[in-house]
Structure 1
Amino acid sequence: MSDVTLSTTNGIKVVDFRPFVDGTNKQAVADAILNSFKDTGFVYLINHPVPKEKIEEMFVLSKKFFDLSMEKKQLAPHPPSGTHHRGYSAPGVEKISQHIYDMDELAKNRIKAPDVKESFECGREEDENMPNIWLPDGILPGFKETCLDFFWLLYEAELTIWGAMALGFKLPEDYFKAYHTKPDNQLRLLHYPSVTAEDLAKETITRIGAHSDFGSMTLLMQDDVGGLEIENPQKPGTFTPAPYVEGAIMVNAGDFLARWSNDTIRSTIHRVRAPSGKFVEGMIPDRYSIPYFSSADFDTVVDCIPGTWSEENPKKYEPISAKDYVMQRLAASY
């Protein structure tokens, strides 16, 4: 285990990001992140550049938002279109339906077990593809400003991680930054209300079903309740807990990055289920998480990353724009 790989949690490497940020051992950090992405599609980063107090502030305000009455939350409604991911979605409205390709089975799945979660999503203010949808002034003072501040903090962190990814591929450090300049990204606040363990066990309801993320990369902050699980790449259908690690941001590769890397990197299927040992009188406690979904600039066409293909290992995919790829996936999943 290298000096920057501090431990492994259920197969996912815990990597110290500080030597990349301070420049003392950039290549070792870059190699550790890329190797973890190749192994599991996930990595925990500690000593990352997002201040702890900013994460805590966002979680506090997220809880305040979800504690509002349904009537007030619905004043910032998510549009019916699955391609406009902004605003508030109530519990049971969305249903992850990825990796089900038969239309009859898809319909049955959506009716059988709704996703019992609620969310709020936003992006940059000037996004022409997906304009933000905010609460009216005075409903929750400071909410809009805190969300936007946090969005841009995560964007700066994302760019730093992309620098490490580039070095991992033995490319110039700014290679991926040129594809992530706008950003066409999404900040999501998530609340999983308390539910009975029995209903989750019987799958009459779900929190989030098995899926992979669509974009380039996801940065995830989660509370200590737990429940996130990732599929074992060597044993499809077998899931392993990906628990809270104090001080860490969890980062995972999306489908677009897997394609971009000519499948060098894994985009691993994951889900949220009942956490072990957290039941109180048969009830599973509320869970809060904050994922930040990174996408390549929508108007940029990307080809397979240099070094991921050769005569012996030819390109598997044609060039594609991030907008075409992500919009197709969003429309099919909502």
Structure 2
Amino acid sequence: MVSHSYWKKRCWGTLGVRVTLFGTPLSDFGSVKDEDRMASWKDDLLFLKSSLISQKLSKSLSQTIIPNTSPKATSKIMSQALDLSLLKGSPEERDEVSAALLDTLKTRGVAKLKNHGLPEDLIAEMFDYTRRFFSLSLEDKMTAKHPPEANPNRGYSYVGQESVSSISGYEKGLPQGKTIRDIKETLDMGSPHDSLVDNIWVAEEKLPGFRKFMEDFYESCFKVELEILDALAQALEISAPDLRLLHNKAENEFRLLHYPAVPASALEDGTATRIAEHTDFGTITMLFQDSTGGLQVEDQTNLGTFHDVVSGGKSEIILNIGDSLQRLTNDTFMAACHRVTYPPTVKVGSDVVIPERYSVAYFAKPNRIASLFPLKKFITPATPCKYEDITAWDYNNLRIAKLFS
């Protein structure tokens, strides 16, 4: 495995990312003992938690804020789930579900999947471990802390450490550093067999069985990923083996998310949200969510209109397209913009406390050395190439850097 010091020389220094915590550059903590740094972060996080509860969000983070100009969601709710087990059925059934998957992603932006091969009890255990991890003390969670720099994207990130709106703002031409606060905490992991980047774990005695379970769950998701890619390749009439070859190293990312309970009124002025609107970096994303609600996706046939995506149960997979597939297909597929905000049952600006929310995202990405230059099939006189060549690794790192900038 490559050490973090190697990454600091090879990657972090090149990106030149500078992150602040309540106005203090994290790099300036280098001379402070780990226990002192931990105490400082703990005090800051306790202050943030207090601020959220008291609705004094304007003092919780030292960031520049812009009004939330996101379009309002409609009352239209996505509900129908595609039966992924039909991919193992007759040729006619496979053709039908592959075509339906393609059409749903193109028009809706996301597809809901059932009977995908991951047992309900396995998913229930995954959510149980997720809750138990985020229920650990801040001090314990910070033993698996995300490095202060953006890359590699591994470990625990506290509430406010990353800002997803920096990505969407950058893409829309907004000044760098103008952000909307994300009220969430996360744990990021990669493949247990990754030879380039280590995962960062809490000690086994703090949460027995956690590491082994998450490593195994990652492998299970990879198998489902390949089946979905085969179905998309069939519907797009491209080579399934070729598409698999771009993803065969399982250089993906796996994220646990916890959105703390927050008063609905705290999200009213647009200075904070659960997670700001954004697109994902990879090829496809498989999302598992609880029943709290609040996930919204932009309608691909009516841009600017967002639909609520209501959970059909924790075992259901919400599938969306990411930037990498958009590039590979030369915009035949468009990455779906999505966000997490008010659940549809909560009145905007009310004094109701939105319950905490848990979700788990598996980000399927091309191999690091894979080119994101559009595939030949999608470059024609009528649809000339829209993208320059870049490796999946370089593209991922550029996008990740915006989260922590």
Aligned CA-pair RMSD: 2.1
Deviation per CA, 1:50-104: give whole Å up to 9, x if none: 1111111100010000011101110100011212111111111111112223898
**How many Å apart are 1:234 and its aligned residue?**
4.0
Deviation per CA, 1:12-67: give whole Å up to 9, x if none: 76311111034452111111111122213311111111111111110001000001
Match of 2:385 among 295, 310, 315: 315
Identity of aligned residues (%): 35
2:59 match: none
**3-state DSSP of counterpart to 1:43:** strand
Amino acid paired to 2:379: W
**Counterpart contact for 1:73–1:135, Cα < 8 Å:** yes
Deviation per CA, 1:146-189: give whole Å up to 9, x if none: 11011000001001111101101123332311111111111100
Please list, as runs of the form range in 1=range in 2, the aligned pairs for 1:1-334 lying within 5 A after superposition: 10=77, 14-23=81-90, 25-96=93-164, 97-101=166-170, 105-109=175-179, 113-246=180-313, 247-277=315-345, 282-334=352-404
**How many Å apart are 1:237 and its aligned residue?**
3.2
Q: Work out the CA distance in 1 between the residues paired with 2:121 and 2:78.
A: 29
**Counterpart contact for 2:155–2:189, Cα < 8 Å:** yes
Q: Work out the CA distance in 1 between the residues paired with 2:226 and 2:205.
A: 34
Deviation per CA, 1:183-220: give whole Å up to 9, x if none: 11111000000000100122342110010001111000
Amino acid paired to 2:101: I
Amino acid paired to 1:140: L
**Counterpart contact for 2:78–2:310, Cα < 8 Å:** no
Q: Work out the CA distance in 2 between the residues paired with 1:13 and 1:326.
A: 32
Q: Work out the CA distance in 1 between the residues paired with 2:331 and 2:238.
A: 17
The structure number with the bigger radius of gyration is 2
Structure 2, unpaired ranges of 5+: 1-75
Amino acid paired to 1:20: L
The change in CA–CA distance for 1:133 and 1:331 in structure 2 (over 3 A counts) is: same
Q: Work out the CA distance in 2 between the residues paired with 1:323 and 1:13.
A: 35
The change in CA–CA distance for 1:242 and 1:171 in structure 2 (over 3 A counts) is: same
Amino acid paired to 2:150: G
**Counterpart contact for 1:297–1:322, Cα < 8 Å:** yes
**Counterpart contact for 1:163–1:175, Cα < 8 Å:** no
The alignment's TM-score, normalised by the length of structure 1, stands at 0.90
Amino acid paired to 2:354: I
Structure 1, unpaired ranges of 5+: 1-8
**How many Å apart are 1:323 and its aligned residue?**
0.8
**Counterpart contact for 1:169–1:307, Cα < 8 Å:** no
Alignment length (residue pairs): 323
**How many Å apart are 1:302 and its aligned residue?**
4.2
